[in-house]
Amino acid sequence: MPIRDIFDKPFDDGTIVKLEIFQKYFEEWLPVFVMSRNPKPIQVFDLFAGSGYDQNHVPGSPIRTLEVIAKHRRILAQKKKQVFVFLNDADSQKIEQLRINIEQKVKDLSIQSMVVTQFSARDFRDSVLNDHTKELKSGNNLIFIDQNGFKEVNEQLFQFLMSLDTTDFIFFVSSSYVHRFPDEPEVRRHHPRFDFDKIKNTSWKKVHNVVCDEFRRYVPSNVKRYWIIPFSIMKPDMVNIYGLIAVTKHPLGADKFLNAAWKENALNGNANFDIEEEEKKKQGDFFKPRTLTKIESFQLMLQELILKRNIKNNSDAYYLTLDEGHIGKHANEKIMEMKRDKLITFDSPSSLVNYKKVEKEKRIIEYKLVKK
């Protein structure tokens, strides 16, 4: 597969979206571990880090990582915690430039006491499987694989990352390339267990979702609860689709990524374009009934499951919401509407469909049907 250096020119709009999602997710992710009593170190692994900026000095992921750390300086200081940032790129020249850029940014932000950086110029897989195994097995980890995810995140690496505790990882996949060349031996050899006919026959707009689904084949049988979440990105040429895939075994990891994704696009939460033609659904057709939007379809499904007693409480509703790629707000709107319409009743002024109530406080409320 061809490899393009994203730092050799100005970042395009799609790359900016990718970086914004990473930054928004890290903004949600970091305070969880800063405030946690978990004693393990907080670690960020940016393993295709580049030089830090594009040609127009637009910040890449390493610089954005530092900006997020600076944003949370108050709680880091209060809790006396540091963030360990491991930066790798196979290009040693880029790493030397990155070292200069990072040292200057740390100084400018005055976060010397809050961040510890380590640089390496290694092959990606060597960096993960050989250089950083000890750190990965002993920390609270966020891993960002910003390039070549289809090639590098093979079955062995995927399963290794999933075997780690308190670890979330996000990787980039050029899905359009896989869609165009599914029969090429160079493509197939990276993932011999994938259903390339399925990938080939899917819509070009939704190919990233299908590629994401194929990675589920690699989930170890002993992992019972996990989330693999896609976010599709259309290139400025309006033809090519690539995207991010987020993987986590913890509901809060899924919660935080979905919050970041829906902040990026409140229309569908899984693409930077109208992947489901939501705007057309909203407008409707004079001669046909209006098609439900993604949020409306989810809310209707949730209502039907509650009325059928398949969803009995806020815990059931919360996990359904995550599994369907939605945020608590979407579930809360429908459940509160059902209460106002006297379809259900429950002992709380809100639906309590959120991580804090379900998992942290273990407060479970039953949704009871109102007898007619």
Token pair listed for 29? 């992710």
37 Rama sector, left if φ>0, alpha if ψ -120 to 50, beta otherwise: alpha
CA distance linking residue 370 with residue 372, whole number of Å: 6
CA distance linking residue 46 with residue 101, whole number of Å: 15
User: Looking at the domain that runs over 13-275, which CATH code has it been given?
Assistant: 3.40.50.150
Token pair listed for 273? 């374009």
CA distance linking residue 189 with residue 151, whole number of Å: 9
CA distance linking residue 321 with residue 344, whole number of Å: 18
Nearest to 123 by CA among 147, 99, 107, 98: 147
Nearest to 195 by CA among 209, 210, 206: 210
Kindly give the confidence (pLDDT) of every residue in the chain, 372 residues in length, as a single tens digit, with 9 standing for 90 and above. 444 455 567 999 999 999 999 999 999 999 999 999 999 999 999 999 999 999 999 999 999 999 999 999 999 999 999 999 999 999 999 999 999 999 999 999 999 999 999 999 999 999 999 999 999 999 999 999 998 899 999 999 999 999 999 999 999 999 999 999 999 999 999 999 999 999 999 999 999 999 999 999 999 999 999 999 999 999 888 889 999 999 999 999 999 999 999 999 999 999 999 998 776 666 655 556 778 999 999 999 999 999 999 999 999 999 999 999 999 999 999 999 999 999 999 999 999 999 999 999 999 999 999 987
Question: 42 in helix, strand or coil?
Answer: strand
Q: What pLDDT, on the 0 to 100 scale, is given for residue 7?
A: 52
CA distance linking residue 197 with residue 200, whole number of Å: 5
Q: What pLDDT, on the 0 to 100 scale, is given for residue 188?
A: 96
> Taking CA 220 as the corner, what is the angle to CA 219 and CA 226, rounded to the nearest 5 degrees?
50
DSSP percent split of the chain into helix, strand, coil, nearest 5: 50, 15, 35
Q: What pLDDT, on the 0 to 100 scale, is given for residue 290?
A: 73
CB contact at 8 A, 239 and 165: no
Residue given tokens 């690699």 in the structure block: 218
18 Rama sector, left if φ>0, alpha if ψ -120 to 50, beta otherwise: alpha
Q: What pLDDT, on the 0 to 100 scale, is given for residue 284?
A: 58
CB count, 10 Å around CB of 300? 12
Let me know if 208 is exposed, middle or buried by CB neighbors in 10 A (0-12, 13-18, 19+).
buried
Nearest to 203 by CA among 265, 273, 145, 260: 273
Residue ranges of domains in the chain? 13-275, 279-369
Q: What pLDDT, on the 0 to 100 scale, is given for residue 234?
A: 94
Q: What pLDDT, on the 0 to 100 scale, is given for residue 226?
A: 97
Q: What pLDDT, on the 0 to 100 scale, is given for residue 34?
A: 97
Q: What pLDDT, on the 0 to 100 scale, is given for residue 238?
A: 83
Q: What pLDDT, on the 0 to 100 scale, is given for residue 3?
A: 46
